């Protein structure tokens, strides 16, 4: 998810959350607390998803390097048998 899309979803969620809490409780203090809590949870989720994508990308790179190394060893092994 791009940063722009995330900010749009974040703003939509926070506004709807604030309106819902206000209509249920009629308390500005609880609106502020609930909005800050929602904002914090969404920021943590976004940060976690970025870390997950970085981890998955590094796993993919590591697997690609292992595959390339394995293919290179197979090629060398086949060449050495052809020369005898």
**pLDDT given at position 61:** 76
* pLDDT digit string, tens, across residues 12-43: 988 999 999 999 999 999 999 999 998 899 88
**pLDDT given at position 6:** 77
Distance CA 26, CA 46 (A): 30
Provide the domain limits for residue 44. Answer: 3-82
**pLDDT given at position 5:** 87
* pLDDT digit string, tens, across residues 63-76: 777 776 666 666 66
C-alpha torsion sign, points 50, 53, 59, 62? negative
- Please give the tally of structural domains in the chain: 1
Residue 80 in this model has a pLDDT that exceeds 60: no
**pLDDT given at position 28:** 93
């Amino acid at each position: 998810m791009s940063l722009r899309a995330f900010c749009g979803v974040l703003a939509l969620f926070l506004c709807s959350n604030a309106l819902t809490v206000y209509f249920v409780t009629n308390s500005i203090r609880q609106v502020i607390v609930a909005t800050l809590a929602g904002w914090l949870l969404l920021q943590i989720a976004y940060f976690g998803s970025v870390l997950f994508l970085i981890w998955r990308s590094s796993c993919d790179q590591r697997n690609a390097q292992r595959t390339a190394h394995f293919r290179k060893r197979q090629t060398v092994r086949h060449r050495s048998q052809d020369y005898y």
